[in-house]
Structure 1
Amino acid sequence: MSLTEPGPWLLVVAAAHLGFQLTVDLVVYPALGDTTDDAWDEAHARHSRRIAPLVGLLYVPLVALLAWTVAVEPQAVGTWLATVGGALAVVTTAALAAPMHGRLAAVAPAERRDLLRTLDRVDRVRTAGAVVCLAGAVLLAG
């Protein structure tokens, strides 16, 4: 495998993506869930401002690398495993998690708790997608 092929790059980005997802799932969202009602607006606004650039820094290269991998190694099982996992994470983020964050900024505290529980479940789907994506990248590299 050479650095002129997508495999090694996909492996690095998929591993970084999983690390990011695990951090959000196990650290960031639980901390948000522990935020008091009077501190919520500022804490959530800070989270949103800080997380958006990281999502872009990870998702843009992830999508580009998955597309490159599909273009040059369409016969490999690892390609499709990584693509399905990556797509699951990206689509779940765009279709569910991001809109939930928009709603979290405006709901009452009682509704916020329910929405945060739903967001936790959605985030588990994104994390599972990141695991599958990394597994595909490992398979491709092997």
Structure 2
Amino acid sequence: MTTIHHFTVQTPHGEKISLEKYKGKVVLIVNTATKCGLASQFKELQALYDHYEADGLEVLGFPSNQFMNQEPLEDDQMVSACEMNFGVTFPLFKKINVNGPSTHPLYKHLKEKEKGVLSKEIKWNFTKFLINRDGEVIKRYSPQTSPKKIETDINHLLQS
């Protein structure tokens, strides 16, 4: 069975990283954009990361510029903006496509495992996927779902 651990992603500087690195961790994967009206969620995501990292939570941000060009920054500028404006210390990766013919393989997998309400496509920035310690997609959350509202589900996975 394919899990997120079978995929490789790139850092903002182009270094390849296997998601196998996160085996045994609970992972929250989010497509992000610094200019999005939902960008305040960066602070909530960071708060979850700060609170639960020691317990085994990883938050992974995947910037995408596919929704009204709300991630116009280059990869290194985006990381700096997230650190300065939102205090982000969780890992952010190279900008990717989450929809369309050039969808990143990780996002093809995520969307196949947990479809959205009306379709499997990502509707907007800050769609969130919760992954268990075995790398399996457990749940998908809409862009409007506050990261705070995911805390109970994260806690449950961390304790199991």
TM-score, scaled to structure 2: 0.27
Q: Choose between structure 1 and 2 for higher RCO, CA contacts under 8 A separated by at least 6 residues.
A: 1
Which structure: greater helix fraction? 1
Which structure: greater strand fraction? 2
TM-score, scaled to structure 1: 0.29
Could you say which structure has the larger radius of gyration? Answer: 1
